[in-house]
Structure 1
Amino acid sequence: MREKLEPIMRKSIVTSILFFLSLQLAGCASSAASLPTYKPDDELVVLAHGLGRSDWAMWRFAQRLKDAGYKVCSLDYQSIGVSVAEVLTETSTQIDACILNAPKVHFVGHSLGGLVIRAYLQNKTHKLQKAKIGEVVLIGTPNKGSELADHLNDSWLMEIGGGISRALVTGTRSLGNNLNALDMNIGVIAGTKSFALTNANFTGPNDGLVSVASTKLDTMSDFITIEVSHSMMRYNQEVAQQTIYFLQKGMFKH
């Protein structure tokens, strides 16, 4: 009886993981990024959402940044069923428009949004010559890829996800591992609230989708962990407070 049940249980677990991730990835681009106007002392935050989301997914985070006195330009890009090149082209165009005439520019990215920001800063630093480059905060970003993406690499979900989803694996095919180090003040926030459903795919602390180890960069200026799951980072008050503190002070509040 046990031998008959084990394959069924394994299939059920895999199905549950896929369903869970489909909820995590659900969503689509909703509207073009709104472009702010600036006063001489204004500071802009370019805010980038994660895989399968839209600018609406970052609305609360954006509001907290605005309440702290920042101008916010929220990116809104398609990330399901598209290639890495398509994502980077679209986001690069949006960021170029966002930073036009901005006196000072910070960058904040959740999950895939952090990789989008790294790619832009690697390739488009010349676009920021007229603006003062501020701080960069990467939140739950799979800088070295996701072990869960490795586990699901051959699944139908990855087929639907397209090239950008496949680029979130670990190893030499990882988008994060193929981006250059940046000579900027970078703060990294990692979540430590894992999920029972996905925890077996990790060997250490994780946020349910990305391991703490994967978020780290050799060139990061500061690092902090917060007990929050991957998807809830964009709503979590402590994550927002630490991000704002880093934008203001260039470090996290330890």
Structure 2
Amino acid sequence: MPRASMQWHARQLRKAGYAPHIFSYATVAGGPETAVPALLQELREPCDILAHSLGGLVAVHALQQHPELPVRRVVCLGSPLCGSAAASGMARLPLGARTLGRSAALLRDGCQPWTGPAELGMVAGDAPIGLGQMFGRFASRSDGTVAVAETRIDGLADHIVVSTSHSGLLLSARAARQAAHFLAQGRFAHENG
């Protein structure tokens, strides 16, 4: 994704005392085949990861291939780690398949259950605002693009739902607080409201 998509979260992490580095990649043209090797080069030094949507899938996929990397904690924001019904629906359409590009298979299939040494946390949204509903036909809560159930992979250290849409996770103050809390504590602050 473009670097700009995570700038707001980078500022919030900086305020919380972290020194964020934004990793960007080509979702359509490059896909996981080019993103994962580039990400692996970034993960050679001890670090934590905060990733949104497909970025979380790419990070988890990379760490499943290389569990020896010194990553302590990973927070995913609305990542369909169990696979995306919306992506599967889009992939059936010619224009939709082109939109998903080389990331289609990872988006459709998701990741294996998490068994890596890093602590993995998920912040999901449940404000159903987004075009994903047209393709995914969610039977339960969703953020408009990803169903909450699609974010609950086996092996998570913690999972929390905040009231925002999929895109809203990129600017949600509550999601940012929860991400910083997980990076510091290895669990979310299950606050009321």
* TM-score, normalising length: structure 2: 0.87
Q: Which runs of 5+ in 1 are unaligned?
A: 1-52
Distance 1:198 1:117 in 2: 22
1:76 aligns with 2:24: yes
Gaps of 5+ in 2: none
Preserved contact between residue 114 and residue 153 of structure 2 (Cα < 8 Å): no
Native 8 Å contact 2:128 2:144 kept in 1? yes
Aligned-residue offset at 1:197? 5.2
SS of the residue corresponding to residue 74 of structure 1 reads coil
Aligned length: 187
Offset from partner CA, 1:17-40 (integer Å, 9 cap, x none): xxxxxxxxxxxxxxxxxxxxxxxx
Q: What is the CA–CA distance in structure 2 between the aligned matches of 1:248 and 1:180, rounded to whole Å?
A: 20
Paired letter, 1:225: V
Question: C-alpha separation between the residues in 1 aligned to 2:36 and 2:138?
Answer: 28
* Matched residue, 2:126: 192
- The CA distance in 2 between the partners of 1:124 and 1:159, in whole Å, is 29
* Cα separation, partners in 2 of 1:118 and 1:246, compared to 1, 3 Å: same
Pairwise mapping of residues 99-138 of structure 1 onto structure 2 (< 5 A)? 99-100=44-45, 104-128=46-70, 133-138=71-76
Contact 1:80 1:160 survives alignment (8 Å) = yes
Which amino acid is the alignment partner of residue 241 of structure 1? Answer: R
Distance 1:211 1:144, change over 3 A: same
1:163 aligns with 2:163: no
Change (3 A) 1:76 1:198: closer
Q: What is the match of residue 148 of structure 2? A: 212
| Distance (Å, rounded) in 2 between the aligned partners of 1:135 and 1:208 | 27
Runs of 4+ in 1 over 6 A off after TM superposition: none
2:158 corresponds in structure 1 to: 222
- Alpha carbons of structure 1 residues 74 and 178: separation in structure 2 relative to 1, 3 Å: same
State the shift of 1:178 in Å.
4.5
**Counterpart in 2 of 1:66?**
14
Provide TM-score, normalisation by structure 1. 0.68
State the percentage of identical aligned residues: 27
CA radius of gyration, larger in: 1
Q: CA deviation at 1:77?
A: 0.9
Q: Deviation digits for residues 199-251 of structure 1, max 9, x if unmatched?
A: 46111100111110010121111111001000110111000001111111211
Q: Which AA in structure 1 matches 2:27?
A: S
Contact 1:122 1:179 survives alignment (8 Å):
no
Report SS of the residue matched to 2:68.
Answer: helix
